[in-house]
Amino acid sequence: MKGKVYLVGAGPGDPELLTVKAVRLLGSADAVLHDELVTPEILRLASPTAQLHNVGKRCGKKRVTQQEINFLMAGLAVAGQRVVRLKGGDPLIFGRAGEEMEALAAAGIPYEVVPGITAALGAAAAAAIPLTHRRGSGALVFLPGHRAGSQEETGWREFVRCAATLAIYMPGQNYGAIGRRLRDAGLSGETPCAMISRATTPTQQWQVTTVAGLHSAPRLPSPAILIVGEVVQHAAEPHQRSVLPRDLEQFLLQAREVKHGELIS
């Protein structure tokens, strides 16, 4: 009897941002094939009997090839196992889910996609940046920062002309090159931007600068994302926390004290 593969989004890092369905599937999985950047706190939600396979890559170094991942997913499912392919962020955004779905369909393996919070949304929430704004940007564009071909350059000019907020994934450490590419696309050097590192985790940090100031901005640890646009002027100060309370139990205790709309002291 064939099993099933679930392509599950692990979100940006905070386990409390997982969907209820993702948590349920992790708890009942026979095997979990996870990316390198999925946090240990999230992996601890997997069933104690589940096989854990690290199939991710870091800094461009692959543990296994995409073809090997496809073969492993299919093989485990054919053996009747419930397989969770756990991906950072959302599976459908820069996550090669398209290739994996094609491989599973070709092998006749049933699969299901469980969305997650993509890095841009987690980073924006952490820094209190509205990705769209009535008096700023009315569009949002996700871009990969690690490809610099001429075709992508042309696209960047089009996005700049429509005044969209740009969320640049995997910008690397050469901030100056990103800044030059943005200016070549027609963006003003005074345009605000924010580099957010390890968003929603206890080690998150971010820096706000301008496109012209990117070359001298402090280098933040990976994984990071760059948000560019006038909306960044609304960002919180880097020392401020703008995520939901991490101690959910304490939060619920406080909520129980609410009576007739007033907090009992």
* pLDDT tens-digit map of 140-197: 999 998 654 444 555 788 888 888 999 999 999 889 999 999 999 999 999 999 999 9
Indicate which residue of 2, 4, 57, 184 is catalytic.
57
pLDDT at 63 over 60: yes
The verdict on whether 90 is a catalytic residue reads no
Reported residue count of the chain is 265
Q: How far is the C-alpha of 46 from the C-alpha of 32, rounded, in Å? A: 8
pLDDT at site 253? 55
Residue in the block written with tokens 């001429």: 150
pLDDT at 54 over 50: yes
Please list the residue range(s) of the chain that carry CATH number 3.40.1010.10: 4-117
pLDDT at 11 over 80: yes
User: Could you check whether the bond before residue 48 is cis, i.e. omega within 30 degrees of 0?
Assistant: no
Q: Is residue 173 helix, strand or coil? A: coil
Q: How far is the C-alpha of 108 from the C-alpha of 185, rounded, in Å? A: 44
Nearest to 115 by CA among 3, 21, 233, 241: 21
How many Å separate Cα 84 from the centre of its chain?
A: 18
Q: Which token pair is 166? A: 């740009």
Q: Is 161 exposed, middle or buried (0-12, 13-18, 19+ CB in 10 A)?
A: exposed
The residue type found at 1 is M
Q: How far is the C-alpha of 49 from the C-alpha of 32, rounded, in Å? A: 11
pLDDT at 232 over 50: yes
CA angle 72, 74, 80 (to 5 degrees): 110
Provide CATH code, domain 120-234: 3.30.950.10
Indicate which residue of 4, 21, 35, 61 is catalytic.
35
Dihedral pair phi/psi, residue 166, rounded to 5°: -105, 125
Question: What is the average pLDDT across 3-11?
Answer: 97
Residue in the block written with tokens 């999230």: 42
Please list the residue range(s) of the chain that carry CATH number 3.30.950.10: 120-234
Nearest to 255 by CA among 41, 246, 264, 180: 264
Q: How far is the C-alpha of 176 from the C-alpha of 106, rounded, in Å? A: 43
Residue in the block written with tokens 């924006």: 124
The yes or no reply on domain 4-117 and CATH 3.40.50.720 is: no
**Integer CA distances (angstroms), 237 to 13, 42, 206, 208, 215, in order:** 21, 28, 9, 9, 21
pLDDT at 250 over 80: no
pLDDT band at 135 (very low <50, low <70, confident <90, very high): confident
**Integer CA distances (angstroms), 240 to 127, 153, 202, in order:** 8, 35, 13
**Integer CA distances (angstroms), 106 to 47, 97, 103, 109, in order:** 29, 14, 5, 8
pLDDT band at 61 (very low <50, low <70, confident <90, very high): low
The verdict on whether 87 is a catalytic residue reads no
